[in-house]
Amino acid sequence: MKQTKTNSFLVVVKDTQQETWQGTIEWIEQNKKESFRSALEMLKLIDSALEDDKQSD
């Protein structure tokens, strides 16, 4: 049975302006924290983190 690696993110939405979210996202396994200014930017940060993690395997 193949074990899959998990990635956990803690998302804190601090405000909503211009119809989107602003806040911080923390990648738990790597202990990295970034701010984001929109929901799209938050999703791009997650995607980038997962791509970086995939390439390091």
Tens of pLDDT along 4-51?
A: 778 999 999 999 999 999 999 999 999 999 999 999 999 999 999 998
According to the model, what pLDDT value does residue 2 have?
A: 66
CA separation for the pair 28, 11 (Å, rounded):
10
C-beta of residue 23 within 8 angstroms of C-beta of residue 36: yes
Q: Where are the beta strands (DSSP E) in 1-57?
A: 9-17, 20-27, 32-36
Name residue 46's beta-bridge partners. none
Please state the pTM of the whole predicted model: 0.82
